Amino acid sequence: MPLLGGIRPPIAVLCLLIVALAGLTAKVLGPGDDAAVPQAVLSSQQHFAEDGAIALRASIDERVTDLQRTTAAVNAGTPREPEDILSDLGRTYQKWTGTTVIDLESGKVLAARGERIPLAWLDKETLVGEHALTPRMVRLETGDVRLMTMAVLDPKDRPQQLLIASNSLSVPAINLGPFRSMAVVARDGEVLATAGFEQSEALNSDAEREELAFLQKQMSGFAGQAADRTEQHPVSAREPGARGYPGVSGTLLGDDYNGRIASAGYASLASSDPEEKDSVAAGLGLTVVAMLPVVQQHGAADTGRELYGLIAAGALVVLGLFAAAVLWTAVQRPLLRLFLESRRLARGDLTRPVAVPRWGEPARIGAALERLRTQLDVSGRGEDPVPAGRRSRLGLRAPLALTAVLLLLWCVPVGLLLNRTDGSVSVPAAIVNDQRDRTDLISDRVRQALNEAQADLVSTSRLIDADDRPRTGTLLADALKEHPRYQALYVVGPGGEVVARAGSAPHDWADEKGLPLVRVSGHGGKKPVIQAGAPVPEHQGTTLVGEVRVEFLNSLLNRPGLGSVRVVDAEARTIAAGDGFLAFEKLPDALTDLVRASNEQVGAGPVENGLLLRDGGGVTVAAAAPFSGGGTASDIGWSVVSRQDAAHFEIAAYEREDRSVLAGMLGLAAIVVCLGWVYLVVVRPLRALAVGAEKLADGDLKTVHYPRYQDEVGAVVRSLELLRQQLQARRQNQARRTAEPRLGAGGR
């Protein structure tokens, strides 16, 4: 018999799968060591660091772009005094800690604003060469690090000047929550800036000071490890085919102190688009590290649940062996017996009666073989005729169904009943705090993006001459190409008429007192219209309006590990979302109340209550963060709302539930594969063989029996064909003997 055919392989494979599944069940659902820090908490720190890196990268790139754009506008316009340039720059963009204009020939400082910028780092390589005007990190006398951004001013009929702007490398000034700290790390592991430790500087007790020193030491260690790990290429840092954060990110575990373990996530600054080459921040070699001390899990394993895993594995072995015994007794043994009996008859051994199985298709085939034996056995003419085998509707399908039921008795309870959470899972407080803090970070990013959009319009409006419509149209078209965040730019005159435009069709702009410069319209339409405006200087009542693409805001909200994130207005109507939305659709009541409560506490800190929502058997972690922190967009009443099903967190209880479901599905797959194999290869051919054998026993000698498979069933078919040929030869011999006497009598 071939090794891959017949009844033995599927039964053997079923036994192997059952043993393997039992071992897997015992391992993943049985006793095990709980991690000191839940994986969900570590993943949350990684995502927090990624968000901080994205925010820092966007902030640096925006500042570089704004400085270059301002320089280009100054070079294209009429010559202006350095003092006026810095004044306009400060009014338009409130983002630099200090600005300076120096004469490139003499090195003399022509104008300065804000903190004093040291100039000792300026050299020839900074201004000339392959890396000319590349931003540099400079440490001040106070110890703080500043990023120096440079651009050349080339006014007409004047010597060239160098515009230098400095800004800090700290992450956005957002709430970090209790005990959390973040740091910006250089390539060599040096900590350039930190945030969060200053919340603990006022501690007076010795224990508190010791804990602060411990955390600062841990951050220094994490900074060195993160700098080493981020040196590798982002592609090689991930599993093959894995996607996610475009840079290098991961998690770190430190030492424990007073029952808390220092955990950290790190992320290198990377462009949002891997193919983007013009990200200045991505080439600085900076890394953001987010650290949070987490209460250590004491490994109090749920012995009851672990015992359930061992019991489930043992029950699977018992039921699997019983199911295999059913298949062996009801299918394999009768088939092998038929194979031996049919081969014996085909060889001409007709002395012994056929051992007929008791029921099913083997019984029908055995009865047909016995009838064929009596027809071939000359000495058995006087024997009583053998009755045909009894037909059964189920036949061998009955033991297959019984085997499936036995295995389903394990798959269904394990997959649907074992380790069910039923909404009683305890979500770690660190995850809830991270949801809130990350939502606050996303809210700050969106607010800054809208502020940047309005600031860009202010900068562009200074170049507009509303009386020169062709030139204004060309200027808007160039600006639209330079700013992908807009879908349309247009100039609205005092009467509401559109003077010049570029991009998609403009929408109405109401120039009324009290209306914010950043607003949303398009109510009742398929898509919200987000508009930002800037008055055009020297043209009373004329406004430059830019429509921000909703897709641009959606891209800011799509962050892993944060769930569904939306931007809503003051009435909790959806304006943008990271996972698709209907324009101006309302939030659920619970989230609406959360938005309302967060708006009432603007300026009083983040909302501490109402973040963990339980509805029936589900647990949802939600957070709301209103726009706050300054700028034009801070007063429009918008908020960022996030919610995530707690089942998506890597919490031990949910992981056990998922593993139980997986074990049940694997058992179901084993049932379908192995029993389907038996049915297709053995049972269905046997049913066809039973019909053919009965027809042959009834006298159908014309139908030829062809074996389809080289297995036990095929062997029985071949033997049946040999018996048909023997019966056909005997009938022909009998007809010849009967005809010979008649021919002899006719010849006399």
Closest CA to 658 of 418, 461, 407, 372: 418
Q: What is the pLDDT of residue 194?
A: 83
Would the pLDDT of 702 be above 60?
yes
Rounded average pLDDT over 357-365: 84
What is this structure's pTM?
0.74
Rounded-to-integer distance, Cα 36 and Cα 142, Å = 40
439 three-state secondary structure: helix
Rounded average pLDDT over 255-274: 81
Question: By the 8 A CB rule, do 641 and 566 touch?
Answer: yes
Would the pLDDT of 438 be above 60?
yes
For 186-238, what is each residue's pLDDT tens digit?
888 888 888 876 555 555 567 777 777 888 888 889 999 999 988 887 777 67
Amino acid, single-letter form, for residue 97: T
- Alpha-carbon Rg of the chain, whole angstroms? 41
Please state, rounded to an integer, the average pLDDT across all residues of the chain. Answer: 82
Please report which confidence band the pLDDT of residue 358 belongs to, taking 50, 70 and 90 as the band edges: confident
Among 350-354, 497-501, 553-557, 737-741, the minimum mean pLDDT is found in 737-741
Look at 3 and 209; give whichever has higher pLDDT.
209
Rounded average pLDDT over 249-265: 87
Rounded-to-integer distance, Cα 11 and Cα 583, Å = 57
Rounded average pLDDT over 459-468: 83
Closest CA to 529 of 508, 515, 502: 508
Please report which confidence band the pLDDT of residue 380 belongs to, taking 50, 70 and 90 as the band edges: very low
Q: What is the pLDDT of residue 213?
A: 81
For 736-746, what is each residue's pLDDT tens digit?
877 776 656 55
Q: What is the pLDDT of residue 1?
A: 43
Strands 249-257 and 618-626: unpaired
| Block residue for tokens 């894995």 | 242
Q: Alpha helices, DSSP H only, in 328-395?
A: 333-346, 360-376
Would the pLDDT of 610 be above 50?
no
Q: What is the pLDDT of residue 34?
A: 59
Would the pLDDT of 15 be above 70?
yes
